[in-house]
Structure formats: structure tokens, C-alpha cells
Structure 1
């Protein structure tokens, strides 16, 4: 008995003299908020070792109706994975968009507890944060240390940025009133609203809005202002994907491949450019997203009732002259085709001819498109070479045969060679 007591005393002394545990992670998300939860889940799901730090005793963000729509997608993913495990049960099998905080709190816990690559650190106030090479070192008040490649500040009012004296108003690119009059929409990773509840405009948010100027591997959640309100879960998902990319590929925020991040977001069902005339269950939904992000056929902000929405104008047609400038930006070779083909309205035959010339394909392309018109491309219209081609038909075919989304862009949306 004495020997046992003596051993306990030695262990107690050693526990005070041994250095505090150091946690090493790829991404550290700080902040018990809806964007913080979304960022941590997405970062982990995208393959980065992720830690989620909060001073609270549980992950308990306040969720809006828009946030619950996002949570539903996360839940469905979690539930689908869970069903594949023999005997596994979902703690909250049904999803109710009118659920109360204690209900979605249980769901959040169930998701976070079963997300691979995610460590949740509760009840842990931060004492100090400082740069450590390309990454960061964080000291908690309990003496614990965290070393991380990337920090995501998802705190209320961007508290971490403020103590580091990082000006969150000086990001690499700030949101603009109509990004479709610029090239910013090409680097979209999330959505936001401007205006009021009675008259609002939905806008895409570019990647640069998450990256404070002058500091690397520190990602912020874009701030709400009087005229700008990000969709919480949307910006959180984007922040987590950006952070995960840097950690996974061992790179810094200035070297991010915008298209790779957007592709990852689309893989997880993100609506980067919320097109009001394209439903999520459309079989070509992702093709429209890629086309809208490329700008080869650009959507536009359109007034519907008291609100402004983003429309692709799927039924619209266009002339060769309207297509000439965007095609020139992507494919200089195409200008030879336009010089010989001036069309007031582009037909299906004209579009196929343009694809064949630009992609250097032969006559077999026309037969391939005709054979796949209904089966592969899911078009309900009749294949008729002489009929004007709609923007919907052109977008889906161009995404397949011209691959404009494959062309990389910088944070400002400029094409990179």
C-alpha cells in the first residue's frame, strides 16, 4: 500500500514538471460560431488534420434558417456515410428545418464526433498567438500549445485578427456591388446578401475577401456590415476549404489554386454562384456552376419583384459577335472562326462548328453530340442543326468540349496562362 502511495506521489510531481502537451495540426479553426463549425467540418472532410478551438463547453453556434439549410446537407452526408456501417444509427435521423437549438446542437455534436481528421478542443481560452515560420504557435491558458500551418479566425468580430493587429478591412480583394461588371466573380467561393430583407441582392464573394493583406496562412470570415451580410455556413465552408488546401499541399495562401478550391467546394455541393434559374437537382447543375465561374457565358444580376437575383438566362440565344470577345480571352485560335462566321443568332450547327475548330476535332464530334443529346446531356429539346442554340445548350456542350473552367485564374479573376 505504501509503495503504491509513493508511486502516485512521484507521478503527481512529474505531472507538474513535464512540459505541457503540444498539439500539431494542419488547420486550427477558432470561434464557436456557425462559420467556425462549417469551416472545421469542411477542412477535416477535405483531408486536412483540423482542430476546432472554443472557450465554450460545447459547440453551440446560433444558426439562422439559411444555416440550417447548409446543416441539412452536412447531416445528409453524415447520415449517408453512417448507413454504410452495419448496425450504426444516426442520433438524429430526421431533419427538421424548424428544429430548436438543443435539437440541432445534438446533431452538430453527432457530426463533429464522427468527422475524421477533426479534434474539438473545448473550454480552452487562448493566451497567446504568434507567427512560427510559415505557420502559427498558439498557447492556451492551461499551458497547452498548438502548432498549426493555418489559422481560421471565425470568432465574433474577428477577435484573433484584432489582437494580432491584422486589419480585417484590408483584404486582398473586397466585395463589390456587382462583381459581374468585373472579373471577381470568377474567384467566387461563397455567397452574401446586400440590401434589406424587403429588397435584397444576392452576391458571390471572391476568395480574396478571406485573405488579409500582408499576412500569410491566416484566414478570416468576411465581416458583416450595414450593407453586406455573408451567408454564415457558406463563408465557413469556403474558409475551411481554403485552409485545408494550404495545409494539405503544404503551401501558403498566396499560392492557392483558385480552381482547385472551387472544384473541392463543388464536390461537396456548394452553390458558389446561386443561379435562380438552375435548380440544385438539375443533372447539369455543376456544369452551369463551372460555366458561370469561367465567364465564357456570364450570368447577370436581374431584378425579380423587390429582390435582385443572379440568372443564367438558360432560354436566351446569342450572336457570334456577343461570343467573340469571351472566346478570344480563352482561345485565341477561335478568332479565325469568328472572322469567317458572322451570325446574328448562333445555331446548333454553328456551335458544333466552333467546337470542332477550337478543339481541333473532326466531323465525328457532330455525331457524338447528336447521339448524346438526350441520353448524355439530358436535353429535352429536339436535336436540330438549324435551330438557334440556347444558352443552356451551349453552356453544357462548351463545358464538355471546350473546358473553360480548366483555365486557372488569380484572386482578381484574371486568366492565368
Structure 2
């Protein structure tokens, strides 16, 4: 009896092969990030958050670069443009649960190296789809189909679909074989440090910056390499403006790196090449992770309408203005809207609107005017009035009461246009030109 009982226990302890679970292999990385500074952290974080397995090779013992060295630091650049991964970092420095203007401002004035290092290290350990290895370098790199094959200093080889090089002056380029590259200039050499509405490039912004009197966005084309280096992105290829040794450049550097991480993830996720990135899709991804396309300094992350204002601002329907001797770039959300201001960009986006605007001169748009325009362009009926009235406070989060005769603010105009006309859905190319 005892022997039979032991036999039964022994049999029950042996797993049945038909139902036993196999150990899962770790997922293969699709994006590789190389470097140890704040920009490497930013790119790796965004790539992983964009939904692709990301492997970060940290060529150092510590993460953080300049921010974790020396004395406590104070940064004044990107004034009122503390967004994206830079805002995430400041939130960690402030040790707060929610982002607020006061917390971000205080954190910028007192960045202690030890606390900064803790923020980087602790965050890297908790980000899903991100794995990293310290004290490792890359010894070889070569093209492999649409992507790249990497050889590490421990002789391990990895194939990935995209690379973000966060080393100084894109040092990985020196490892490339001549057959893999064509020209000497792989990336644009300069940034246009002002919003110029005479050029369409403003529509393609993927990061924002403020340095001194220069307030600008970085167009997607500034991130994209020469055609011979597709799916290779560098956070600081050759620009003094982005030197990590200048502490005032760190916010811009992190936001540009965030865009690089999103672009690399895009290429990996859609199994495509960097020259085929959909500008609006990439911008939408960055906006979802609290980065900005337009450097409106009077629209903060804490503003409930910042996504709609950013999207409409990137279409050019409502434009920003440099004020205070060009020391600030503002959207002016409480100002009113005239037909003269919005007629041309709306006509560009919707040919049907040309008939509606004919012989119209509206000094100040009223709610009834905009609803009439939306009905005409979007083929909506009178039910639109009731829909907007019902959602005025709860859905749209507007202040005041619904009144068709009320004069619309730029804020209200932007939110309603974004909701019902969706101009951000009209595609643009890398030059910012509309693609119908």
C-alpha cells in the first residue's frame, strides 16, 4: 500500500509533456540604442514606450552623462517648453506624481547629480520592453537587409531594424565599411532656429526648443540621415547646438533624442525605412507621450486643450506670433479669430471651403459661423448644434455657457476644428507640403 502510494505521488510529480509549458525565449530586440547620456535614456525610453523591444547598450558604468557629474545644476533653457522626456525627468527630480508648472520650474533650478542618477537608473529598470546592458561597447556595425547587424565587445551579434546612436558626433559611423556609406555629410548640418511660416517645414516639427532669443521647432527632416544610412538615427551628429557638455542644451537634446527613438520605433514597428516615415503618425505618437510640435510658450502640458492646439497649430490654421521683442512665441488662446486669419490655410486643406468663404468678411468668428463652416465642409446637418451644446462643458471642457452668438476664442476654435474637421489627418511630406 505504501509502495503504491509513493508510486502515485511520484507519477503526479512528473509533469505531463502534453500540458507542460515551454520556457519562453526572450523577445528579440528591434531597436538598438547606444550611449550613456540623457539623450540615450530619452531615445531608449521612447522607443520602448512606442511598443517595440528595445536594447540599450550603455557604454559606461552609469547612466546620465553630464547631468550626473559635478555640482548641482540649474537650467534656464526651454523656458515654458518643459515637455516630453525632459518633463518626465524633471518630474522625477521633483518627486511628484503629477506634472505642474511650479514643480517643473523648481526642479530645473536644482538638479542634484545623485538624484538625477537615481531617476535615470530607476526609470530604466521599470520601462516595459526596455532591456539594457552597462559597460559594453559596439565593435562592428554593418547593413543587413533593411536593418543592421551589430557586433558587441563581448562578441555577441545582434540584428535590429533600427539604430539610435547617442554617442558624440555619431561615433558609430567610423565603424561602417565604405560600401555601406556614400557621402561625407550624413545629416543636415544646421537647425533653423525660428518658426518661419513662409516655409512649410514648421508643419513637420518633432521637438521644440528655446535657447536665448531663439524659439523654434526641429523638423523631422533634421533627424533623417542620408539615404545610404536608412534606419540609422543620431541624437547629436555634428551640431554644436546639441553639445551635451553645454548644460543649457540638455532639454533640446533630450527632446530631439525622444523623436529619434520614436522614429526608430516607427521603422521597426512598420518594418519600413526612415525615408517612408509618415510625418503625422510620428508626430501623433510624440504628442501622445507629451512632446510638442509647436513651441507655443503660453500652452503648457497642464493645459487640458494642449493636444488639440498642438495639432491645429501644426497645420497652420491658427499660427503663433513672436512677442516681447521676439523673446516669446505665443498662441494667444484667449484672442479672437477673424476669417482673414484662417481663410487661406483652410482653403488649402479643404477645397470645398472655397465656396463657403466666397464674399465673406468675418471680423470676429462667432460660434454660429464656425458651426456653419463645419456643416458645409464636413457635410453635417443641424444635429451638430445640439451635439456641440451637449458636449460644451463635459466633452470639450469649455468655460462659460453654450451660445451660438458668442465670439469664439482661438482655444475654442482650435478644439472644434480639430474635433470636426480633423485637419491634422491631412498628410504632409518631409517638406511640410500637403499630400491629398
Normalised by the length of structure 1, the TM-score is 0.82
- Residues 337 and 74 of structure 1, relative CA distance in 2, 3 Å threshold: farther
Give, in angstroms, the shift of residue 151 of structure 1.
0.8
Aligned with 1:209 (options 222, 225, 237): 222
Instruction: Assess if the C-alpha contact under 8 Å between 2:32 and 2:57 holds in 1.
Output: yes
Residues 1:79 and 1:137: Cα distance change in structure 2 (over 3 Å):
farther
Compute the RMSD of aligned alpha carbons: 2.9
Structure 1 residue 192: Cα displacement = 2.6
Aligned residue for 2:324? 304
1:10 aligned partner: none
Stretch moving more, 210-219 or 372-381: 372-381
* 2-structure distance, mates of 1:23, 1:140: 18
Deviation, 1:310, is 2.1
2:269 to 221, 233, 248: 248
TM alignment of 1:140-219, pairs within 5 A? 140-164=152-176, 170-171=186-187, 175-181=191-197, 182-194=199-211, 199-214=212-227, 215-219=229-233
- Does residue 280 (structure 1) correspond to residue 296 (structure 2)? The answer is no
Contact kept, 8 Å, 2:193 with 2:217, in 1: the verdict is no
| Matching residue within 125, 138, 155 for 2:150 | 138
Distance of 1:171 and 1:207 partners within structure 2: 12
Preserved CA contact (<8 Å) 2:194 2:215: no
**Judging changes above 3 Å, is the alpha-carbon distance between structure 1 residues 251 and 73 closer, same or farther for their aligned structure 2 residues?**
farther
* Distance in 2 between residues matched to 1:390 and 1:285, nearest whole Å: 15
Q: CA deviation at 1:290?
A: 0.9
Within 5 A, what are the aligned runs for 1:215-254?
Answer: 215-223=229-237, 225=239, 229=249, 231-254=252-275
Q: What's the CA shift for 1:24?
A: 4.6
2:427 partner SS? coil
Out of 112, 115, 129, the position equivalent to 2:127 is 115
Compute the displacement of 1:258 (Å). Answer: 1.4
Go from structure 1 to structure 2 and tell me whether the alpha carbon gap of 1:271 and 1:168 turns closer, same or farther (over 3 Å shift).
Answer: farther
Tell me how far 1:28 sits from its aligned partner: 0.7
Alignment CA distance shift 1:193-1:163 (3 Å): farther
CA gap of 1:170–1:329, structure 2 versus 1, over 3 A, is: farther
2:354 & 2:262 partners in 1: Cα distance?
37
Paired residues of 1:173 and 1:208 also in contact (CA < 8 A): no
Give the unaligned 5+ runs of structure 2: 1-25, 68-72, 76-81, 99-105, 243-248
Alignment match of 2:36 (pick from 12, 15, 32): 32
Quote how far apart the aligned CAs of 1:173 are. Answer: 9.2
Query: How big is the shift at 1:274?
Result: 3.0
Select the residue among 334, 338, 354 that pairs with 1:335.
Answer: 354
Deviations 1:373-411 (A, max 9, x none): 233222224433334322222111101110011112111
Q: Give deviations 1:97-129, integer Å, cap 9, x for gaps.
A: 534222221222221122221121222222211
Q: Give the aligned length.
A: 376
Query: Which stretches in structure 1 are left out of the alignment for 5+ residues?
Result: 1-21, 81-94
Output aligned runs, 1:12-27, within 5 Å: 24-27=28-31
Query: Separation in 2 of the partners of 1:39 and 1:50?
Result: 10
Q: Which residue of 2 aligns with 1:416?
A: 435
Q: Distance in 1 between matches of 2:90 and 2:368?
A: 43
